[in-house]
């Protein structure tokens, strides 16, 4: 069986802890590899080597660092199919979703090709008599990224590309469920010209995470995962004097107004709710039609679309809409929440429980489920299901629908479908959510903007990628300078001229 280790000083190395965890093929339920789990000592050694390598990388001018990003982007494009295969093999998502995972990360790398422009400081001429002021952005040193299983390429690239472009060294701890993509990306960026040791990929569990959080050399931590863990990492990082940006869970709503194009809204909900088996922090998991007529029309359109969805392994190619979920435990949790929705009085319109695929009976497949008449007290509404389950909450009015979102604990993404510009504008301005879509179901910003939620979906002051990433991964130094004229008389310094 394949054993997956770490990437240290420009090469793959075996773990030394003797501890491993299993990497499954989600479609078959079989163990396909074992990944080593690093000890605190292994993590500390990786950090120390990264700190040494960072000195030379920080001294490399931004334009040369940007050239490494340019070549890295080219290599990602050249290896797109290989990387998508790695993503799909360990995560289970379809190959089109795997390619999309890589592509969205590549777009952040492309922005980082323009790092010199984003790293420019400010200058004030003659701020006082003969005094100039200027600021410069300098790297933090060693930073860390702790990334989740659901986007094995995209989120590691969101972390590593800006951090490295700014002149930092990075410790990347990917999800132990999907470790291979990050290791391959590390090899490709070395080929692009990144010096050995500047990027270290260390696999591990909580012991490795705590070692990152407690290591005094690590200056900043970026995390994506569940809200409880995001809160834990943010709190421990802050206690230890580190910068932290920690992104947690979500419960994303989409309002459907009576004047919306119902067919377009239904198509959007199917893609946003069930794509990637619902394992996306920006998935729409709650549909909120306004008025009984709109709600009934939505049910009429959604049911046949959902029932036509094809579930299967990524090896089936483009003929599959979504694949399995990540683990047997995830499958059991999702189906348990569906059971709770039925027990608590929601109407299960499409039942995905008990789904089985011939030849893949041991795979972690969950069929699509669709609930109507869900209320905010139910578990399926309150909890992030992270699976192919769409809940419909009927609202009597637009204000009731907005209040539902405003009162929710999460604030990652939201959307509205309407033909009325005034309603859309009011929604965008009023709603307390970080990313808003208008007739657009998954409002993930383009990579030259910035990604981040509000409320319990995010902890920290700065968001991922875009200009915020360059602020997060650098610190500002401001210089006040004065140069004296006429300080020499007869070859001697005139100290009075310096007063």
Given this structure, which CATH class describes domain 2-248+457-480? alpha beta
pLDDT value of position 127: 87
> What residue spans define the domains of the chain?
2-248+457-480, 252-438
Asked whether residue 499 carries a pLDDT value surpassing 70, the answer given is: no
User: For 252-438, which CATH superfamily applies?
Assistant: Aldehyde Dehydrogenase; Chain A, domain 2 (3.40.309.10)
Asked whether residue 22 carries a pLDDT value surpassing 70, the answer given is: yes
Can you tell me the distance from the alpha carbon of 436 to that of 415, in angstroms, rounded to the nearest whole number? 6
pLDDT value of position 166: 98
pLDDT value of position 126: 87
The whole-model pTM stands at 0.94
From 112, 166, 178, 281, active-site residue: 281
Average pLDDT over residues 256-283: 97
Average pLDDT over residues 426-445: 97
Asked whether residue 420 carries a pLDDT value surpassing 50, the answer given is: yes
Can you tell me the distance from the alpha carbon of 198 to that of 169, in angstroms, rounded to the nearest whole number? 5
Query: 219-261 pLDDT, tens per residue?
Result: 999 999 999 999 999 999 999 999 999 999 999 999 999 999 9
pLDDT tier at 172, thresholds 50, 70, 90: very high
pLDDT tier at 33, thresholds 50, 70, 90: very high
Can you tell me the distance from the alpha carbon of 288 to that of 298, in angstroms, rounded to the nearest whole number? 10
pLDDT value of position 497: 43
Mapped onto helix, strand or coil, the DSSP state of residue 154 is helix
Asked whether residue 322 carries a pLDDT value surpassing 80, the answer given is: yes
Query: What CA–CA distances, in Å, run from 7 to 111, 187, 218, 430?
Result: 25, 8, 18, 46
Strand (E) or helix (H) holding 187: helix 180-191
Asked whether residue 488 carries a pLDDT value surpassing 70, the answer given is: no
| Share of residues in the chain with pLDDT > 70 (%) | 97
C-alpha angle 96-97-103 in degrees, rounded to nearest 5: 90
* Beta carbons of 96 and 318 less than 8 angstroms apart: yes
pLDDT value of position 495: 46
Tokens at residue 497, please?
Answer: 């001229």
319: alpha, beta or left, given left = phi > 0 and alpha = psi -120 to 50?
A: alpha
Tokens at residue 483, please?
Answer: 């140069």
pLDDT value of position 130: 86
Asked whether residue 487 carries a pLDDT value surpassing 60, the answer given is: no
Average pLDDT over residues 117-145: 94
pLDDT tier at 485, thresholds 50, 70, 90: low
64-68, 123-127, 136-140, range with the lowest pLDDT: 123-127
Average pLDDT over residues 448-454: 95
Higher-pLDDT residue of 488, 74: 74
Can you tell me the distance from the alpha carbon of 251 to that of 169, in angstroms, rounded to the nearest whole number? 34
Q: Indicate the average pLDDT of the chain.
A: 95
Query: 205-215 pLDDT, tens per residue?
Result: 999 999 999 99
pLDDT value of position 129: 86
Query: 64-99 pLDDT, tens per residue?
Result: 999 999 999 999 999 999 999 999 999 999 999 999
393: alpha, beta or left, given left = phi > 0 and alpha = psi -120 to 50?
A: beta
Task: Check if 112 is active-site.
Answer: no
pLDDT value of position 317: 80
Average pLDDT over residues 335-349: 98
Average pLDDT over residues 20-34: 97
Residues with Cβ within 8 Å of 317's Cβ and at least 6 positions away in sequence, in order, are 95
Asked whether residue 491 carries a pLDDT value surpassing 70, the answer given is: no
């Amino acid at each position: 069986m394949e054993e997956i280790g770490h990437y240290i000083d420009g090469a793959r190395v075996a773990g030394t802890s003797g501890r491993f965890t299993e990497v499954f093929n989600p479609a078959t339920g079989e163990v396909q590899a074992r990944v080593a789990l690093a000890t605190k000592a292994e993590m500390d050694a990786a950090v120390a080597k990264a700190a040494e390598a960072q000195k030379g990388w920080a001294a490399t001018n931004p334009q040369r660092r940007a050239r490494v990003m340019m070549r890295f982007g080219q290599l990602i494009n050249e290896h797109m199919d290989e990387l998508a295969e790695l993503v799909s093999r360990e995560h289970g998502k379809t190959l089109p979703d795997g390619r999309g995972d890589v592509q969205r990360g590549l777009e952040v790398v492309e922005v980082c090709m323009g790092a010199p422009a984003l790293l420019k400081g400010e200058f004030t001429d003659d701020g006082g008599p003969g005094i100039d002021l200027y600021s410069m952005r300098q790297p933090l040193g060693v930073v860390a990224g702790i990334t989740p299983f659901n986007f094995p390429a995209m989120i590691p690239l969101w972390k590593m590309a800006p951090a490295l472009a700014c002149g930092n060294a990075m410790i990347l701890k990917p999800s132990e469920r999907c470790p291979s993509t990050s290791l391959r990306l590390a090899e490709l960026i070395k080929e692009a010209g990144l010096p050995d040791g500047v990027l270290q990929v260390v696999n591990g569990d909580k012991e490795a995470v705590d070692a990152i959080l407690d290591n005094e050399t690590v200056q900043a931590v970026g995390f994506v995962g569940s809200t409880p863990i995001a809160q834990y990492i943010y709190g421990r990082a802050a206690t230890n004097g580190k910068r932290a940006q920690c992104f947690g869970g979500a419960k994303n709503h989409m309002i459907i107004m009576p004047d919306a194009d119902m067919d377009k809204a239904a198509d959007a909900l199917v893609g946003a709710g069930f794509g990637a088996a619902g394992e996306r922090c920006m998935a729409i998991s709650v549909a909120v039609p306004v008025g009984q007529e709109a709600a009934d029309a939505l049910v009429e359109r959604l049911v046949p679309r959902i029932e036509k969805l094809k579930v299967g392994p990524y090896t089936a190619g483009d003929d599959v809409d979504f694949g399995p979920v990540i683990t047997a435990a995830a499958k059991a949790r999702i189906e348990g929440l569906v059971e709770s929705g039925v027990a608590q009085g929601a109407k299960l319109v499409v039942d995905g429980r008990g789904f089985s695929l011939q030849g893949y009976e041991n795979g972690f497949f969950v069929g699509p489920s669709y609930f109507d008449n869900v209320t905010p007290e139910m578990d399926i509404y309150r909890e992030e299901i992270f699976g192919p389950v769409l809940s419909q909450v009927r609202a009597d009015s637009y204000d009731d629908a907005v209040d539902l979102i405003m009162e929710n604990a999460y604030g990652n993404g939201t959307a509205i479908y309407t033909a009325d510009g005034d309603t859309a504008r009011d929604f965008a301005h009023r709603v307390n959510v970080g990313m808003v879509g208008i007739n657009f179901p998954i409002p993930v910003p383009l990579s030259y903007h910035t990604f981040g939620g509000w409320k319990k979906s995010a902890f920290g002051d700065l968001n991922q990628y875009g200009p915020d990433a360059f602020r997060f991964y650098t610190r500002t130094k401001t210089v006040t300078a004065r140069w004296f004229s006429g300080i020499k008389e007869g070859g001697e310094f005139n100290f009075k001229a310096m007063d």
